[in-house]
Amino acid sequence: MSDLSKKEVRAPDSFRALLMKVFKSLLGNKAANLVVLGVFIVGGVAYSAYNHYKQSQEEKAQAELFEVEQLLKKDQPDANPEAVPEPLKAEQIPDEAISMLDSVTQKYSGTNASSLAALRASELLEIKGDLQRAGQFAKSGVENSRSELIKGLARLRFATLQINQSKYSEATAEIQKVLDNDSLKSLHAEAQLRLAVSYELQSDLEKARELYSKIVASNGADPVGRTAKRYLHSLGKDAQIKAKE
């Protein structure tokens, strides 16, 4: 296998390494193809310019996301910046914030910030009770994100919306895609929690209890583990109440 065909050379971040290997290969050949060499030189310049453009777009999108968060905080009392923020209420979410987030998703499509804007818009629209548009934004986060992590978060957001609308099979399909992705192990406990909630809402309490217990055993000290422990405790209380009836 030649140096030029190795897997690591084909990775996007290795373009310059590929360029240097081509240079060495051509320089070692007395009948070097100057046309090919010229193409790679131009390609290298174009790649560098494109990288700069992408970074610029990412920074602009992040700046606009920051403006949205400032708008959402405008009417809220000052709080400890390290404290967990209080959940927003529907009346605290101006339509302007949704419009700004929508604009970010369209103007900067393909950036990580645009995918995060879609997730934020989905969350805010759910609070406002517009589940249809919330689902559309979450779905766009799945379809347009180039980051596996953000795509995984978008799948969980979409699954949560489906659970809230009793669309359990659709929710399970999205959750399973996260669980099947080994690169998203950091999200597996969150995915299992949503799956357990789905089972509980469908009255499959045995499966729900099994998953809650699994999360507590593996992530007991984390927020997701504490939530699972609380839900597991609630299941036990419900069982005791039913036994007394």
Domain-located, residue 192: yes
Q: For residue 182, which phi and psi values (nearest 5 degrees)?
A: -65, -20
The answer to whether residues 176 and 99 belong to one domain is no
- Whether 181 and 229 map to the same domain: the answer is yes
Please count the structural domains in the chain. Answer: 2
136 and 174, same domain (yes or no): no
- pLDDT above 90 for 39: no
Specify whether 201 is located in the same domain as 236: yes
175 falls within a domain: yes
What pLDDT is recorded for position 80? 57
- Residue 112 is predicted with a pLDDT of 87
Residues 65 and 139 in one domain: yes
Domain with 115, as residue range(s), is 59-70+88-146
**Is residue 44 a contact partner of residue 15, using CB atoms and an 8 Å limit?**
yes
Q: Are residues 140 and 64 in the same domain?
A: yes
Residues 131 and 180 in one domain: no
Q: What is the pLDDT of residue 57?
A: 87
**Cα–Cα distances in angstroms (integers) from residue 214 to residues 164, 201, 222, in the given order:** 23, 18, 13
Q: Chain-wide mean pLDDT for the chain? A: 77
Whether residues 63 and 141 fall in one domain: yes
The C-alpha atoms of residue 199 and residue 226 are separated, in whole angstroms, by 19
Span 163-191, average pLDDT: 94
Q: Please state, in angstroms and rounded to a whole number, the distance separating the CA atoms of residues 141 and 136.
A: 9
Residue 49's SS3 state is helix
Q: Are residues 95 and 64 in the same domain?
A: yes
Q: How many CA atoms lie within 13 A of 87 on its CB side?
A: 7
Q: Is residue 5 part of a domain?
A: no
For residues 220 and 42, the model is more confident at 220
Render pLDDT for 179-205 as a digit per residue (tens, 0 to 9).
Answer: 999 999 999 999 999 999 999 999 999
Residue 157 within a domain: no
What pLDDT is recorded for position 67? 92
CA–centroid distance for 207 within its chain: 26
Q: Tell whether 94 and 135 lie within a shared domain.
A: yes
pTM metric for this prediction: 0.72
d(CA 144, CA 47): 21
Distance CA 90, CA 87 (A): 10
Q: Which of 146, 180, 213 is the last residue of a domain?
A: 146
Note whether residue 10 is domain-resident: no
Q: Please indicate, yes or no, if residue 41 is contained in any of the structural domains.
A: no
- CA distances (Å), origin 130, targets 121, 141, 165, 236: 11, 17, 12, 34
Task: Please answer whether residues 94 and 101 qualify as being in contact, where contact means their C-beta atoms are separated by less than 8 angstroms.
Answer: no
What SS3 class is residue 245? coil
pLDDT at position 18, please?
37
CATH code of 191's domain: 1.25.40
| Per-residue pLDDT at 236 | 75
**Cβ–Cβ contacts within 10 Å for residue 190, how many?**
23
pLDDT tens-digit readout, 59-111? 898 899 899 988 988 766 655 555 555 778 899 999 999 999 999 999 998 88
* Domain shared by 178 and 209, yes or no: yes
The pLDDT tens digits for 108-159 are: 988 888 999 999 999 999 999 999 999 999 999 999 888 899 899 999 999 9
Q: Is 140 found in the same domain as 172? A: no
Say how far apart CA 104 and CA 99 lie, in whole Å. Answer: 9
Percentage of the chain lying above the pLDDT 70 cut = 70
For residue 161, pLDDT over 70 is answered with yes
Residue 1, in any domain of the structure: no
167 Cβ contact partners less than 8 Å away, ≥ 6 residues apart? none
Is 23 part of any domain?
A: no
